[in-house]
Amino acid sequence: MSRTARVERITKETKVLVELDLDGTGRAEITTGVGFYDHMLNQIARHGGFDLTVRTVGDLEIDAHHTMEDTALALGAAFDQALGDKAGIRRYGSATVPMDEVLVRAAVDLSGRPYVLHDEPVLAPYIGPVYPTSMTRHIWESFGQAARITLHVDVLRAARPGGHPDAHHVVEAQFKAVSRALREATSIDPRNAGAIPSTKGAL
């Protein structure tokens, strides 16, 4: 059965198209107008093993907030759509990812109940000229809400003794960890025989 989705989100502030194949090969075509965000969404495709297309046109003449938020909402909705009734999936996934001095842990439950906890240190305000680091939390909150998942993202280590956190490494390690957790949670469990992984019979 195809586990794909196509989501369009159009507002007065943004126009977003997301296409997703959960059983892909990591192919990505990402254009949001925010270079570092494009790089992070590429991580989701590559490390999640998903085929992902994202095309966003937003009001960047104001700032990046609407563009990043609406893209995350559309991406979450695409995951929710592609998962369907969630029969046969593993449901839970977790990953701990190192990136040089940074260590991040992500855990996900495709529960149907949106709940997001995010913990990271104070970072430099921007990565590159456009990506505000304060938006990373909001990305996960928006994504988790639209995907209807429980998501925990914790930065366990962020700097060498006496040093300051490298914002690029801290944020990228988060995207890689979440991607690996999603890869596990969305994968088909051969022992589950197509059953919905819940005693309730629904997710």
- Give the model confidence (pLDDT) of 3-56 as tens digits: 999 999 999 999 999 999 999 999 999 999 999 999 999 999 999 999 999 999
What would the DSSP string read from start to end of 112-181?
A: SS-EEEEE-----SEETTTEETTHHHHHHHHHHHHHT-EEEEEEEE---TT----HHHHHHHHHHHHHHH
pLDDT at 136: 98
Rounded to whole angstroms, the Cα distance separating 157 from 134 reads 18
pLDDT at 49: 98
pLDDT at 86: 96
Q: What is the residue type of 131?
A: Y
Rounded to whole angstroms, the Cα distance separating 128 from 149 reads 30
pLDDT at 193: 83
- Hey, which residues does 57 pair with through a beta bridge? 15
Q: Which two tokens stand for residue 25?
A: 């090969």
Q: What is the largest CA-CA distance in the chain?
A: 52
143 near 77, Cβ under 8 Å? no
Cβ-based neighbour number of residue 28 at 10 Å? 18
Instruction: DSSP letter for 62, please.
Output: T
Cβ-based neighbour number of residue 128 at 10 Å? 12
Rounded to whole angstroms, the Cα distance separating 84 from 17 reads 19
Please name the helix (run of DSSP H) or strand (run of DSSP E) that holds residue 77, with its range, or none: helix 65-83
Q: Which two tokens stand for residue 27?
A: 């192919």
pLDDT at 19: 98
Point out the residues of the chain with pLDDT beneath 70. Answer: none
4-186 to CATH, choices 2.60.120.10, 3.30.230.40, 3.30.365.10, 3.40.50.720? 3.30.230.40
